Structure 1
Amino acid sequence: MTVGHAGDRGGAPTFSRGYEGFGGTVGELASQSVPSWPAPRRARDGAPNVVVVLVDDMGFSDISPFGAEIDTPAIQELAEAGYRLTNYHSTPLCSPSRAALMTGLNPHRAGFGSVVHMDPGYPGYQMEIASDVPTLAESFRAGGYATFMVGKWHLSKEANMHDGADKSSWPVQRGFDRYFGSMDGFTTLFHPHRLISDNSPFDGRRDSEEDYLTDGLTDRAIGMLTGLRANDPDKPFFLYFAHHAVHGPVQAKAADIEKYRGMYDAGWDHVRAERFRRQIASGLFPDSVEMSASGPVETMGVPAWEDVPLHKKQLFARHMEVYAAAVDAVDQSVARLVEQLKSMGEYENTIIVFTSDNGATGEGGVNGTRSYFSQFVHLAGLPEDWAGDVPRKLELMGGPQVHGHYPRGWAHVSNTPFRYYKGHSYAGGVHVPLLISWPAGLARHDADHGVRDQYAYVTDIGPTILALAGIERLGTLGGAPVKELDGVSFDGFLRDRTAASLHRSQYVECGGQRGYFEDELKIVSPHLPGTPFTEDGWELYDVSVDPAETRNLAAERPDTVRELAAKWNQAAWRNTVFPMDDTGITYRMRPSTESPLSAPVTLHTGTPTLERFRSSKLTALRSFVITSSLEYRGGDEGVIVSHGDQGGGYLACIENGAITVCYNAYGNMTRASAVLPAEGLLALELRFAALPEMKWKITARLNGDALLDLDPMPQLLGMAPFTGISVGVDSGGPVDWQLHERRGEFAYSGRLHWVRYEPGEKAAYNPEIIADIADVSASLIE
């Protein structure tokens, strides 16, 4: 039997001869009414490819076109071919910015008033893109594009990231043909804690200890493009490359770190001044612009470099060398993408957007940290002796053994010339670099230096690239109308540098930090957590002449402040900003629908590593018991259970006839061993009892008899343990580096029947507030 088509691709099938059965011949069936196959939508001929490159937590001045000394020639090439936007703004945090970019809606209207590590249930904090909001990928795919994504998603609830979860908010379900990366807010760059390929955990093994995620993601992106071209030579593509760099923990390749050795010995004050000098010289700002002030009061504690003790200067400089190397690797990634596009003959007709999701972060603290997950803990009652920075050798910094982040003084440099950091409504939190290049469609005139100082916001990126590509945003999803856009296209002022911005006003809110922009004026609320949200206390800046917000005009223009404050309030109600929370209650509120994740679970050998959040519900801020059933014969060795990595974790293994429990307290290693008394069927019990001051008492019993115990250990809190639970192997990032060097993943060679986790009582200091969803729903119905 042969099958042909009548007319074009949308015609009904015809058949050359009959086939007996099914109540008649196929020829007879073909003569009956057969529904037509809908023709796939095609992009217009010559439609441009679109590549959006988003870097995580990178400051305004961290690339050479915006003043950096960091070597970024590929990004510089994009700037020289395209346009630098000096007045582009993001939200203060990553998830809200990604939601606004992907949807064109303001972050709270998109359901992302904060990051997805919270789930209070309010309309502005739904933490998943709603079914009546099309993503960029969905619009491009409907317009005939292939759609690819690599890297950080961070737009799904934590409770929906495990293998058995509802995946309707995952990238492939939201318009991407292919996806490879981490769904989580961040990951380590040498031992990623969990990678997803399309809809499934990626179980590929590392080829080398030198494997580096920025390079691996680039490999994947290039593979998606070449795979498309091997099968369709003409179909345009939309590639969203969301880097995990340079979010903490900050890590880089050894050769790249060596390249910057000694470059930051002069300190942050000198480097910041030099970056600002280059910004002025390259036309980013006029000579009249001033930098924001330095000093402890203006920077949340950053001392002048000359006041940093000598023994700390080398450490602080090394932190920045690592950060610079991580940015350099991003540029190498851009270079490889551009080279691939050129080799395919498609560079000229590709729109490339390069930007950051928010300003650089000060979360490393005044002294930086080599124990990122410990520094990441923000709980009331944290013991005074809590180790926020476990010392490491300088030569290890930036490598797989150290989960570090640079000191706040370098974040002040990254955000040059602005003040403050990620999470703030001041410019340092929201004023970030944006480059856009399209040689075939946005070629610059010789007299045009490519700098654009008109206002633009993250919601405008989607409408702009859709307009440039000639693709219409979807008007319906599932047959229902979609929410209207907040963003507007800025293609007008790209083509005509004298054209005005169409985005004239914008609200900002993040954890009680507020801001409002309108027609070159901006008000900022320097709100302190726990204080009343009053209508006074706003600061006013004329950002057309003072983009670094150095001169507060509020006292001179009180009527303007009141007018803009009232407009912020109106915008907040319109965008579902309320209720605002600066106390952390919204982070502590968890829906009762998460309760099944805390039920006892039995894991068998071969079970994929349990996802991070799913694992944490079994152990975080509570007592718990791990029971293992295994058979041991002389010579059997390997890991029984592991949970975590170099950022913090624990494991139990058998080696050289002894059971060893290893505990990694954010870099401080403790080990306890006991000789196995006999062969045969073993029941190993590890009991973690929650103690005051956020510690665990860890004891081990074998076949009911006491085996060993450890002194009280600091609990693993915040995002630790980061790598989830593995059975029969230390999969992912290694908990104990010495063991890893000796034995690798160290799979158990005997028979391991199962490992069972039984969560116990929550500790008294566990701040979770469980909202009974059934009760809430019933009260709404009544």
Structure 2
Amino acid sequence: MPIIPESAQEYARGYERFAGTAAELSSQSTPAWTVPPTAGEDAPNVILMLVDDMGFSDIAPFGGEIDTPHLDAVSDDGYRLTNYRTAPMCSPARAALLTGLNPHRAGFATVAHGDAGYPGATLQIADDVPTIAESFRAGGYATFLVGKWHLTKESLLNDAADKSSWPLQRGFDRYFGSMDGFTTLHQPHRLVSDNSPLTVDDFPDDYYLTDDLTDRALGMIKALRASEGHKPFFLYFAHQAVHAPLQAKPGDLDKYRGAYQSGWDHIRDIRFRRQIEQGLFPEGTEPGPRNTAPGAEVAVWDELTPERQDLFARYMETYAAMIDNLDQNLGRLISHLKRIGEYENTIIAFTSDNGATGEGGAAGTRSYFSQFGFHADLPERWQRDVPRDPDLIGGPRAFVHYPRGWAYASNTPFRYYKRDTFEGGVHAPLLLSWPRGLPRRASDDGLRDQFAYVTDLGLTLLDLAGVPRLSRRNGVAAKEVDGVPFARLLRDRSEPSPRTTQYSEMVGNRSLYDGRWKIVTRHLPGTAFTDTEWELYDIAADPTERHDLAAQNPEIVQQMAAQWNREAWHNTVFPLDDDGTTRSFRPSTDLVYEQPVTLYPDTPTLERYRSSKLIRLRDVEIAARFSMAGEDAGVLVAHGDQGGGYVLFIEDGQVCVSYNQFGEMQRIAAPIGPGTHEVVVRFTCRPELAWDVALIVDGQQRARLDDLLQMLGMAPFTGISVGVDRGSPVDWNLHERFRSFPFTGSELEVTYTPGERAAYNPEVIKQVERVVNRMYE
């Protein structure tokens, strides 16, 4: 029976005893229970807004012409860091940002896909590395994440996987977004709410992911304030935009129609002039030269045909519309914070995870997944840009990316792109404001040109909020950080950078920056790693890397190359992988995903990677068993989307297969009547990455498609759905007639039986069990 205190004083004495015991236990390495910490009422909220693949010059505070009034306001209230660097790709940058560790020490030499088994490429944040979200939560903050995660390797994204690397297990109270590297903005391939997939059969016609993410963020803040009026929050808003496929809302597209007909050379020129006027670079600075290295070349705009110019301008209109919409949604967040009186005491940091990307190729693409199809034996008939009506660009039917000439403009005034360790790949814009805690003096223009790196930013936010980084996690001492907070230089522009040295590496591209000098390579895959490929730049005098001084200063190159090697060994950079070989390694534990599986209606869409293992570069047989009456119809199974895939369905007494070959539609059909049936779609691998597809009804082959190009890279992107075609549809004509087209028959089940891998399947299976057993022998 509970004991009821006789007075408030007795209750208070009891609570003091309880709190004292709790505090004693919480000081142990593995406490049984603790009193939840409470941040002070004056603790600031913190919003960390990260954009995907946005260039240095795309927003107005850094020279851009895109309309970003709300980012302008953040800049006016705060500070522009003009010498901020990041990692050359997204997962490494995000890992460094959230942990304070250099990318390789954090386990992210590359993006979170394969697992080669090397310490620098585990693609998992280690158990002894706390995230800043975990530190904020321990410090009494509510912690929210909306948008892209991309810090869980793809083999652990499925619903049965160990979730220790998912957002909620890494410090966030709430999560909503896509855990994959990217998704479509009109009809996302997979959304996760907290720890579970969100099943959406049909998205509204006006759905747009950036709007939805903002709605969810606002909902989290409002729910917090409904329960606790003073508890501060940390919101990590990790935008899917502006990663490809580029998609925008019609109204935002209309705003930019015709804005880019002048071309990327003109846009780069006017952006650079504006950067000089804004004081981002001193007078006399020269912009980086036109990119001319193999695989990076940018055409002269005025030498393009008018037809090419019209098409290429459409891509950039979409990109600009996405950034404009992103700014509009930031405005919605700021408006609500002002309405509830919390804007002045909210820290806002805004940046990009890396430079703008050249992965759209020289001519851009309206078929992103065919452009993304990397294989040594691509046939000559492979199209990296499957022709589509230009009016579809930006909408849900075209998965597009802009030509790399626009990335050349986005990265003004720097050279090269995402993946490169030249400044175009690593030099990002950074805005930071906190009106109450970091007010700007009238005489201060807010510009800060001291060096800062992505490892420093998360630690700076903790420092500004007065929240210590966790010293222990899971009962063991936390791994030491590499980053250094830079709050002091925000308060005093005369403060020097707290550090000036930083290594970088990505797919064999390397660099070392030491304050004045920078050595850098643009490594050609398949060639030897040598000291002769190093270039040298006086980065203080030549920030755009125009003048290679390596030949005149061999001793500096030699010294810095030796230092890069020391940094590389310390940060577990080796072995260097310049051609993706290690990324083709897969542990034998992944083989479970290649076993036959039977799926039923109402099963959430099977996750992308799990789905791909059933069909990728191999024979496969898909058997649908069901019963139907005369009027029954609908989708039996669908795998993929407008970027590529296949769908099996019943319509008007026909069993039909639609194959979306990266935007080119192929269709076959055969008659079928009432009754119980087994329909098989058999994919048989052919030479040159081709498939023959046979449609078999009740044991009899009734139709076939020959010599179809197989799905490569990330396609099919949307996973397998049974009894419905969820999300972005495989066949748009079918979608226009029936939307997701649920099957109205009964007893449907679909079995996938994977066959032999094709000889050209590049995956190499590593026998993990054998290695583990040897460890215990």
TM-score range (shorter-chain normalised) is: over 0.9
Shift of 1:780: 4.5
Mapped partners of 2:451, 2:107: distance in 1: 24
Correspondence for 2:699: 704
8 Å contact 1:319–1:406 — kept in the other structure?
A: yes
**Counterpart amino acid of residue 692 in structure 1:** P
8 Å contact 2:86–2:93 — kept in the other structure?
A: yes
8 Å contact 2:682–2:693 — kept in the other structure?
A: yes
Correspondence for 1:29: none
Shift of 1:619: 0.5
8 Å contact 1:82–1:439 — kept in the other structure?
A: yes
8 Å contact 2:202–2:726 — kept in the other structure?
A: no
1:17-166 paired onto structure 2 within 5 Å: 38-166=34-162
Correspondence for 1:514: 510
Mapped partners of 1:4, 1:201: distance in 2: 45
1:653 aligns with 2:649: yes
Shift of 1:520: 2.1
Correspondence for 1:768: 763
Correspondence for 1:189: 185
Mapped partners of 1:500, 1:108: distance in 2: 27
1:499 aligns with 2:498: no
Q: TM-score, normalised by structure 2?
A: 0.96
**Counterpart amino acid of residue 755 in structure 1:** V
**Counterpart amino acid of residue 66 in structure 2:** I
1:189-338 paired onto structure 2 within 5 Å: 189-204=185-200, 206=202, 208-294=204-290, 296-297=292-293, 300-338=296-334
Correspondence for 1:728: 723
Shift of 1:37: 6.5
Mapped partners of 2:294, 2:625: distance in 1: 58
Task: Note the alpha carbon deviations across 1:382-436, whole angstroms, 9 max, x for none.
Answer: 0111011111112111000000000010000000000000000000000010000
Mapped partners of 1:203, 1:621: distance in 2: 28
8 Å contact 1:249–1:372 — kept in the other structure?
A: yes
SS at match of 1:681: strand
8 Å contact 2:187–2:203 — kept in the other structure?
A: no
8 Å contact 2:199–2:605 — kept in the other structure?
A: no
CA distance 1:577–1:207, shift in 2 (3 Å): closer
Correspondence for 2:666: 670
1:7 aligns with 2:12: yes
Task: Note the alpha carbon deviations across 1:314-370, whole angstroms, 9 max, x for none.
Answer: 000000000000111111111111111111100000000000000000000000000
CA distance 1:59–1:299, shift in 2 (3 Å): farther
SS at match of 1:351: strand
SS at match of 1:698: strand
**Counterpart amino acid of residue 597 in structure 1:** Y
Among all aligned residue pairs of Structure 1 and Structure 2, give the percentage whose two residues are the same amino acid. 56
CA distance 1:10–1:99, shift in 2 (3 Å): farther
CA distance 1:62–1:752, shift in 2 (3 Å): farther
Shift of 1:303: 0.8
Task: Note the alpha carbon deviations across 1:202-224, whole angstroms, 9 max, x for none.
Answer: 12455521100000000000000
SS at match of 2:613: helix
Among 678, 684, 688, the residue aligned to 1:689: 684
Shift of 1:730: 0.4
Among 667, 674, 691, the residue aligned to 1:679: 674
Mapped partners of 1:255, 1:102: distance in 2: 35
Among 746, 758, 772, the residue aligned to 2:741: 746
1:460-475 paired onto structure 2 within 5 Å: 460-475=456-471
CA distance 1:39–1:655, shift in 2 (3 Å): same
Among 567, 582, 589, the residue aligned to 1:586: 582
Mapped partners of 2:84, 2:774: distance in 1: 43
Shift of 1:263: 0.6
Shift of 1:3: 7.4
Mapped partners of 1:764, 1:10: distance in 2: 70
**Counterpart amino acid of residue 766 in structure 2:** A
8 Å contact 1:627–1:685 — kept in the other structure?
A: yes
CA distance 1:656–1:299, shift in 2 (3 Å): closer
Shift of 1:594: 0.3
8 Å contact 1:10–1:38 — kept in the other structure?
A: no
CA distance 1:557–1:256, shift in 2 (3 Å): same
SS at match of 1:117: coil
Shift of 1:602: 0.4
Mapped partners of 2:329, 2:559: distance in 1: 46
Shift of 1:574: 0.2
Among 629, 633, 644, the residue aligned to 2:640: 644
**Counterpart amino acid of residue 481 in structure 1:** A
Shift of 1:10: 5.0
8 Å contact 2:291–2:408 — kept in the other structure?
A: no
**Counterpart amino acid of residue 708 in structure 1:** A
SS at match of 1:619: coil
Mapped partners of 2:291, 2:422: distance in 1: 17
Provide the aligned C-alpha RMSD in A: 1.6
8 Å contact 2:311–2:390 — kept in the other structure?
A: yes
Mapped partners of 1:9, 1:90: distance in 2: 51
1:551 aligns with 2:556: no
SS at match of 1:713: strand
Shift of 1:478: 1.6
SS at match of 1:618: coil
Shift of 1:779: 4.0
8 Å contact 2:374–2:712 — kept in the other structure?
A: no
Mapped partners of 2:516, 2:254: distance in 1: 43
Shift of 1:371: 0.2
Mapped partners of 1:13, 1:567: distance in 2: 54
Shift of 1:543: 1.2
SS at match of 1:435: strand
Shift of 1:775: 1.7
**Counterpart amino acid of residue 70 in structure 1:** I
SS at match of 2:586: strand
Shift of 1:45: 3.1
Give structure 1 stretches of 5+ with no counterpart. 15-34
Shift of 1:586: 1.0
Mapped partners of 1:519, 1:419: distance in 2: 19
Among 171, 174, 179, the residue aligned to 2:170: 174
SS at match of 1:355: strand
Shift of 1:711: 2.5
Mapped partners of 2:305, 2:177: distance in 1: 41
Mapped partners of 1:540, 1:781: distance in 2: 48
Mapped partners of 1:758, 1:172: distance in 2: 34
Give structure 2 stretches of 5+ with no counterpart. 6-10, 20-30
Count of aligned pairs: 761
8 Å contact 2:357–2:418 — kept in the other structure?
A: yes
Correspondence for 2:398: 402
Mapped partners of 2:531, 2:774: distance in 1: 33
8 Å contact 2:105–2:120 — kept in the other structure?
A: yes
CA distance 1:205–1:632, shift in 2 (3 Å): closer
Larger deviation, residues 4-13 vs 301-310: 4-13
1:373-384 paired onto structure 2 within 5 Å: 373-384=369-380
Among 487, 507, 511, the residue aligned to 2:483: 487
8 Å contact 2:366–2:401 — kept in the other structure?
A: yes
**Counterpart amino acid of residue 775 in structure 1:** R
Mapped partners of 1:688, 1:606: distance in 2: 25
CA distance 1:299–1:78, shift in 2 (3 Å): farther
Larger deviation, residues 545-554 vs 143-152: 545-554
8 Å contact 1:10–1:39 — kept in the other structure?
A: no
**Counterpart amino acid of residue 387 in structure 1:** Q
Shift of 1:2: 7.4
Mapped partners of 2:484, 2:700: distance in 1: 69
Shift of 1:536: 2.0
Mapped partners of 2:587, 2:531: distance in 1: 32
